[in-house]
């Protein structure tokens, strides 16, 4: 499935992610488009480790780190936390996971995030899963979420939408120009969205196998139908003669 980039030749990696090959899928989409919800499903079915940049930043606030207050203020304003902070958290989580395939959810959020991640880790995403959803629907979901997130209030939600349109969409456009975007209609019910997601993650050879299987069963059914017709003809002729 797609390319796997070897991060071993990047000095900036500091050896931390070195000598390992990683499969990385960026999961992008507006606030409330369902990134976290679908990532949980993908983890169950396809064995990826889910790294939500937002969750890592929120955990950093809780941990009482020196960056905590700065991160908290940025999130309240819907602003994008400096790349070096987020990338360090992502790198650490990748190392600690022991896995080699990752869903990076909600990152990169702007061109600077994207370029910095690539140059620091040497990793390019295999593809980008993009959840497309109207603001009206996303707003409804966020206002109904009730998980006590400080940024789920109407003022911050509107700011998050603006940042998404201005800073994050260009990242999606960049990957579109490289043919790496897999766009999903995320306005549908959760199960239907996941059906579309599964089709993206199911390896091509699996899809071919399924198609061959269904081709074979179609031919078998057709044969049986024709055979049945022949027997019917035979008996009709015998009965009438
Ligand atoms: N829901 C989900 N799918 C549904 C469906 N198909 N139909 C009906 N309901 C559906 O879903 C949101 C809600 O909708 C849930 O209640 C769910 O049940 C329901 P969720 O899966 O949580 O959506 P998600 O896209 O993950 O929404 P989230 O709010 O997490 O997206 P954001 O991108 O806004 O939040 P994130 O946590 O990534 O970032 C928060 C902030 O952190 C940013 O605004 C920014 O300030 C900061 N940040 C950075 O600075 N840098 C980063 O790299 C990352 C974050
Ligand atoms: Mg999320």
11-207 in CATH: which number?
Answer: 3.40.50.300
- Using an 8 Å Cβ cutoff, are 22 and 101 in contact? yes
CA distance 140 to 34: 12
Q: Ligand 2 centre from 221 Cα, in Å?
A: 46
Mutation pick for ligand 1 pocket among 32, 86, 161, 189 (CB with most ligand atoms within 8 Å): 32
Q: Ligand 2 centre from 232 Cα, in Å?
A: 61
Domain boundaries, the chain: 11-207
What tens digit of pLDDT does each residue of 140-192 get?
Answer: 999 999 999 999 999 999 999 999 999 999 999 999 999 999 999 999 999 99
Q: Is the CB of 29 under 6 A from ligand 1?
A: yes
Q: Is the CB of 159 under 6 A from ligand 1?
A: no
- The pLDDT of residue 4: 40
What tens digit of pLDDT does each residue of 94-147 get?
Answer: 999 999 999 999 999 999 999 999 999 999 999 999 999 999 999 999 999 999
For residue 79, give the ligand 1 atom closest to its CA.
46
Q: Please tell me whether the peptide bond between 108 and the residue prior to it is cis, using omega within 30 degrees of 0.
A: yes
């Amino acid at each position: 499935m797609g390319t796997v980039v070897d991060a071993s030749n990047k000095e900036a990696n500091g050896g931390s992610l070195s000598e390992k090959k990683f499969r990385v899928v960026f999961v992008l989409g507006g606030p409330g488009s369902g990134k976290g919800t679908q990532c949980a499903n993908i983890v169950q079915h396809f064995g990826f480790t889910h790294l939500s940049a937002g969750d890592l930043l929120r955990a950093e606030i809780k941990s009482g780190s020196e960056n905590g207050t700065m991160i908290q203020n940025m999130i309240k304003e819907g602003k994008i936390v400096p790349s070096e902070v987020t990338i360090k958290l992502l790198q650490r989580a990748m190392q600690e996971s022991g896995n080699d395939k990752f869903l990076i959810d909600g990152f990169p959020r702007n061109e600077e995030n994207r370029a910095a991640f690539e140059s620091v880790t040497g990793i390019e995403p295999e593809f980008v899963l993009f959840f497309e959803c109207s603001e009206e629907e996303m707003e409804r979901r966020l206002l109904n979420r009730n998980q006590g997130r400080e940024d789920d209030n109407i003022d911050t939600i509107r700011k998050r939408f603006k940042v998404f349109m201005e800073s994050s969409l260009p990242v999606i456009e960049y990957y579109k120009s490289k043919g790496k975007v897999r766009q999903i209609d995320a306005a549908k019910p959760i199960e239907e969205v996941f059906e579309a997601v599964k089709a993206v993650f199911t390896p091509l050879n699996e899809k071919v196998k399924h198609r061959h299987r269904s081709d074979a069963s179609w031919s078998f059914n057709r044969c049986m139908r024709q055979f049945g017709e022949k027997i019917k003809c035979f008996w009709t002729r015998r009965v009438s003669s």
